[in-house]
Amino acid sequence: MKRVFALLLGLCLSAAAMAHSYKVGEINIVHPWSRAMPAASTTGGVYFALDNKGKTADRLVGAATPRAETAELHTHVNDNGVMRMRKVEGGVEVAPGQQVKFAPGGYHVMLFGLKQPLKAGDRFPMTLKFEKGGEVKVDVVVQDGADSHSH
């Protein structure tokens, strides 16, 4: 019974370690993560959720990381039945009391010119830039799987 309890405790602690959050102004940034990519890949994506706990809107206007040459805000749009990725101009608004998810198939931070492969288990720093809240440094966890996330 003690072994089972110890195993369950270890699994809970591992999940808690994977889920991480940050705050800038009234915006909570929940669990920044990236998908592991093949070693030859020069691009990747970063995903997270933005929760606005305040009474005024803020806007995510940019991102940067030493792990890539460029980081851009992107989304997917339906172009005559074909899903295409597009750069988001002007940033992404987070209304008061709302959550905006950055997830596969939707908003994401696109990384171009990766300087190292994104390998499962790695972590790397990224700075998110908000119009009102300013800048916040987050730690991105690289995970296996198509829809990896823990909260």
pLDDT digits (tens, 9 = 90+) for 96-109: 999 999 999 999 99
User: Which of the pair, 11 or 28, is modelled with greater confidence?
Assistant: 28
pLDDT band of 52, cuts 50, 70, 90: very high
Rounded to an integer, what distance in angstroms lies between the CA atom of residue 76 and that of residue 85?
4
Least confident of 13-27, 75-89, 127-141: 13-27
Q: Distance between terminal CA atoms of the chain? A: 28
pLDDT band of 24, cuts 50, 70, 90: very high
pLDDT exceeds cutoff 50 at 42: yes
pLDDT band of 4, cuts 50, 70, 90: very low
Q: What is the pTM for the complete model shown?
A: 0.83
When pLDDT is averaged across residues 9-18 and rounded to a whole number, the result is: 44
Q: What is the pLDDT of residue 118?
A: 97
Query: What secondary structure does DSSP assign to 38-77, as a single string?
Result: -TT--EEEEEEEEEE-SSS-EEEEEEE-TTEEEEEEEEEE
pLDDT exceeds cutoff 50 at 148: no
